């Protein structure tokens, strides 16, 4: 058992104390977005009350302080990911923009016939940008299959690698199945084949340590709101070698070195990828979130979530007519399920009346749903601040749903 006082930790998250339809809230939609601790709320409040200013451009005190604080968070992210250089950390608006940035910029080097390899469990954000690149450049998209447990078929993955593979892009953790991919092994296979790699770490960053140097990945993306930070802020890690070669995607302020009507020269990385006024307050909030997570410790958080997952799996598996979708040997604290004869949207609506917040639908993974022959699932996704009592509340609510549809 973990030793942290999780009841005390829950006090850090004001939203956990609210009621819904007269019932105590059981928030089990953490894969969609996480609640924010007081430290993050205070960082946002402090910035807006005492530190509002644009960055990199002003010579007055407020601008200088805001610039220092902004760049300090870049350093904090570098340390959190164990990147080599601050220049390898680009602030974006989220994982989706980060992946699109790579596809748009790095993709300019791709040519017709080049291959891009992804997996069948990808979020739409790691499918559509590559499809768009294929349409622009004439590249070919390859997809590695998954088995009935929702695990990647490694033989299929290996067989799809070829001398035409330019980049392999895959999720570290499936948002709809919970599957934890062997990311280091996949990167090693891609590297041996001469391909670049991009890791979608949106669902991984709050649940496991990430060391980009140890992984040896070329790119990695995550969103702040998945790791108890604000929405509207994301990170793209990129190997400096490639960021220096890649052209900017957006034009405007801060990404330039000089501008004339005849020619514009660009700033160095990471600034050439951060055009315009960035999400400054959100960066401050992200910094506070990373400090908060580091203080608690990802290992302790992961241990707690493993306990919750084991309890939740046992509890839900005992409910008649319930089938868990995604039963990988290694999985994160995500419980996607279907109930016989009951549409997931009906399940979600009725659970809401019992104060239980889950996600229903295809979870932006329509190919996964097609693979399992279902239109959607109901998904309970857990964070370290959840409790066994909330899982019991979920189970009791599901029993009520079954009674309604009996």
Q: Provide the token pair at 233.
A: 């802020």
pLDDT string in tens for the chain (406-residue length):
456 788 899 999 999 999 999 999 999 999 999 999 999 999 999 999 998 899 988 889 899 999 999 999 999 999 999 999 999 999 999 999 999 999 999 999 999 999 999 999 999 999 999 999 999 999 999 999 999 999 999 999 999 999 999 999 999 999 999 999 999 999 999 999 999 999 999 999 999 999 999 999 999 999 999 999 999 999 999 999 999 999 999 998 888 889 989 999 999 999 999 999 999 999 999 999 999 999 999 999 999 999 999 999 999 999 999 999 999 999 999 999 999 999 999 999 999 999 999 999 999 999 999 999 999 999 999 999 999 999 999 999 999 999 999 8
Name the residue with tokens 């709101």: 225
Model pLDDT, residue 313: 98
The question of whether 217 is a catalytic residue gets the answer no
**Whether 134 contacts 163, CB under 8 Å:** no
How many whole angstroms separate alpha carbon 363 and alpha carbon 214? 30
Partnered with residue 237 across adjacent β-strands are 89, 220
DSSP class of residue 219 equals E
**For the stretch 218-227, what's the b/e string if a residue is b when 16 or more beta carbons lie within 10 angstroms of its beta carbon?**
bbbbbbbbbb
Residue 244 DSSP symbol: H
Q: How many CB atoms lie within 10 A of CB 60?
A: 8
pTM value is: 0.96
Collapsing DSSP states into helix, strand and coil, what is residue 403?
helix
CA gap 36, 368 in Å, rounded: 30
User: Alpha-carbon distance 199 to 256, whole Å?
Assistant: 28
- Give the pLDDT confidence score for residue 3 in this predicted structure: 67
Give the C-alpha separation, 34 to 79, whole Å.
Answer: 22
pLDDT of residue 206: 97
Q: What is the C-alpha to C-alpha distance for residues 311 and 57, in angstroms, rounded to an integer?
A: 53
* Whole-angstrom distance, CA of residue 171 vs CA of residue 369: 16
CA atoms of 82 and 299, how far apart (whole Å):
16
Residue-level pLDDT at 2: 54
What is the C-alpha separation between 318 and 399, in angstroms, rounded? 11
Per the DSSP assignment, residues forming a β-bridge with 378 are 337, 360
Q: Whose structure tokens read 């009674």?
A: 403
The answer to whether 349 touches 200, Cβ cutoff 8 Å, is no
The predicted pLDDT at position 7 comes to 84
- Stated as kind and residue range, the H or E segment containing 56 is none
């Amino acid at each position: 058992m973990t030793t942290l006082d999780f009841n005390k930790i829950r006090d850090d998250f004001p939203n956990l104390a609210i009621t819904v339809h007269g019932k105590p809230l059981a928030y089990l939609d953490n894969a969609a977005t996480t609640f924010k601790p007081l430290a993050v709320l205070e960082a946002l409040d402090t910035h807006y009350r005492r530190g509002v200013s644009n960055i990199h451009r002003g010579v007055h005190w407020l601008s200088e302080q805001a610039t220092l604080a902004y760049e300090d968070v870049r350093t904090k992210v570098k340390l959190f990911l164990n990147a080599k250089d601050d220049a390898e950390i680009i602030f974006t608006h989220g994982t989706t923009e980060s992946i699109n940035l790579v596809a748009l910029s790095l993709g300019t080097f791709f040519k017709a016939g080049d291959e891009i390899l992804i997996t069948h469990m990808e979020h739409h954000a790691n499918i559509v940008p590559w499809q768009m690149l294929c349409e622009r450049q004439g590249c070919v998209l390859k997809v590695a299959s998954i088995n009935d447990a929702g695990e990647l078929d490694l033989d299929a993955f290996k067989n799809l690698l070829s001398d035409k593979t330019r980049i392999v892009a895959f999720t570290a953790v499936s948002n709809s199945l919970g599957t934890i991919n062997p990311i280091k092994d996949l990167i090693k296979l891609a590297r041996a084949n001469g391909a670049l790699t991009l890791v979608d770490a949106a669902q991984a960053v709050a649940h496991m340590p990430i060391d980009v140097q140890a992984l040896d990945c070329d790119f990695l993306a995550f969103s702040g709101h998945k790791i108890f930070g604000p929405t509207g802020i994301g990170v793209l890690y990129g190997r400096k070698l490639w960021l220096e070669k890649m052209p900017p995607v957006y034009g405007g302020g801060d990404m330039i070195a000089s501008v004339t009507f005849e020619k514009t020269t660009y700033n160095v990385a990471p600034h050439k990828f951060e055009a315009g006024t960035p999400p400054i307050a959100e960066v401050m909030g992200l910094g506070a979130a990373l400090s908060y997570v580091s203080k608690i410790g990802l290992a302790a958080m992961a241990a707690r979530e493993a306990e919750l997952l084991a309890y939740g799996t046992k509890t839900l598996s005992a409910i008649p007519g319930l089938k868990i979708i995604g039963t990988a040997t290694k999985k994160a604290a995500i419980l996607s399920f279907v109930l016989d004869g009951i549409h997931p949207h009906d399940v979600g609506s009725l659970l809401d009346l019992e104060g239980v917040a889950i996600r229903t639908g295809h979870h932006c993974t329509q190919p996964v749903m097609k693979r399992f022959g279902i239109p959607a699932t109901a998904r309970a996704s857990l964070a370290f601040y959840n409790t066994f009592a909330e899982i019991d509340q979920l189970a009791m609510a599901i029993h009520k749903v079954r009674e309604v549809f009996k």
